Amino acid sequence: MPQNPARARAIQWFTQASRFGVVGVVGAGLDYLALTQAVAHGASPYAARPFTLVIAVVVTWWLNRSLTFAAKAPPSWREFGHYAAITTTGLAIQLAVYWGGLALGAPIWLAFLTGIASSVVFSFLRVRRMFSKR
């Protein structure tokens, strides 16, 4: 029996959103591990964060293109640049919330998680649109 197209789109959206979330957790885990290690070795949590975000961008690009959206085209610098531009905007949102949280006295873990949460929806919608055009 043929599947309802609206139902198929909803299932695809839910599957992609779930995978995007898992990839985000992996990226955030690596990011947080790098951040805490840098801070433990004397780096400022403000100065260390942009460097740890680069790790997250590279890892999540590869995992999202491969697992979340199953991109058929081979990876390219253009694709990575587009992903990086979208992600950079999301990261700017994330950093502003993170630094604002620290400035307000929030513990590092709360500022970290709040920053991530603020950019997830933006990033998912933009990256999903990018890969849907391929």
pLDDT tens digits for 6-64? 898 899 999 999 999 999 899 989 999 999 999 999 999 999 998 998 888 899 999 99
Question: Contacts by 98-101 with C-beta closer than 8 Å and gap 24+?
Answer: 98/49, 99/46
Rounded-to-integer distance, Cα 31 and Cα 49, Å: 8
Provide Rg for the chain, Cα atoms. Answer: 16
Question: For 59-69, how does the pLDDT look when each residue is reduced to its tens digit (9 = 90+)?
Answer: 999 999 999 99
The span from the CA of 15 to the CA of 37, in Å, is 33
Q: Are 48 and 31 in contact (CB under 8 A)?
A: no
Query: 38 Cβ partners below 8 Å, 6+ apart?
Result: 48, 51, 52
Name the pTM for this structure: 0.74
